[in-house]
Amino acid sequence: MQLPTAAMVKTAPYVCKNADMAALSRRPSADDLLVLLAVGRTGRYTAAAEELGLNHTTISRRIAALEAAMGGRVLARVAGGWELTELGREALSAAEAVETAVRSLTTDAAGHRALEGVVRISATDGFSAYIAAPAAAAVQRKHPKVAVEIVAATRRATQQRSGLDIEVVVGEPKVHRAEALRLGDYCLGLYASHGFLAEHGCPAHIADLEQYPLVYFIDSMLQVDDLDLATSFAPAMRESVTSTNVFVHVEATRASAGIGLLPCFMSDRHPDLVRVLPAEVSIRLAYWLVTRAETLRRPEVAAVVGAIRDRVADQRDVLLGGADQR
């Protein structure tokens, strides 16, 4: 066996030091972890760049550096954005710990932990206006640095949720790598204006409805199965004014375009609308909230979700049309 030479002994400390530095250089950067956290939550480099005040190139470079340090891919390209890989999800807990440590240093005037950031919501038109907006306002009053963006859309829950923190949909969603929370039920009923009923008469039975025009969604563009099945209570009614927007349904019904199949919590606000066949037609549907588990762990998102759930509970009777007729 060859014994160490004097030169070898002399250089050993430098070899060890270089090895330590190499190991240190492979350690993930806290800044890179925070970038991963932003991309993982939004699903997009551009949204993460906006949130962090960086440019797209810097985001890309930070992710590349993190992947080099961890020895693998932390993000995978999917339709419309990016999704965390298994390795990326492993890094997420460390990233959340870094974020928690940083945020613990930020407090408000009363010494409480201050919430800040942007929370992005997608929800149906009526829910956006009467549930999400008041809930967002309640959060913003308590936490002025939290901004809430609401995108009104009636659609199925997306599988990737790129750029969204929260989705509210009608009917139980089938999603993966996400949490689905049932918020509560609401009711659809038939409504007509006083003027329409004075001119055309009021149907006495469900069978009479085939003689009346229906105001509802555009059949060929309706993506939500529960809403598509909602009209199966009656014989085919000829279409009148149809739209992808439920506020159009309400206003067309108020303008005597026909009998509208409308959310009770929107229609009951208008004294010029009359509930038609309330005992026979009362369609109960459910609102569901979808979010990623890692997104729900963000304090500002949890605050918005909590406010939405409180608003739904507070408006339960209104959502069901007063006393539910079923």
Q: Which residues pair with 119 in a beta bridge?
A: 148
Q: Is the pLDDT of residue 16 over 50?
A: no
Give the pLDDT score at 182: 96
Write down the mean pLDDT value for the chain. Answer: 86
Cα–Cα–Cα angle for 188, 192, 194, rounded to 5 degrees: 145
Asked if residue 132 and residue 94 are part of one domain, the reply reads no
Q: Which domain holds residue 139?
A: 117-183+286-315
| Count of domains forming the chain | 3
Is residue 258 in a domain? yes
CB-count burial class (<10 Å; 0-12, 13-18, 19+) for 166: buried
Asked if residue 223 and residue 136 are part of one domain, the reply reads no
Both tokens assigned to 262: 């409308």
CATH of the domain at 220: 3.40.190.10
Instruction: Specify the 3-state DSSP secondary structure of 181.
Output: strand
Asked if residue 207 and residue 178 are part of one domain, the reply reads no
Q: Which residues pair with 192 in a beta bridge?
A: 274
The residue type at 200? H
Is residue 47 in a domain? yes
Least confident window among 14-23, 133-142, 223-232, 242-251: 14-23
Model-wide pTM > 0.85: no
Local confidence band at 324 (pLDDT 50, 70, 90 cut-offs): very low
The pLDDT tens digits of the residues spanning 55-96 come to 999 999 999 999 999 999 999 988 778 888 889 888 887 888
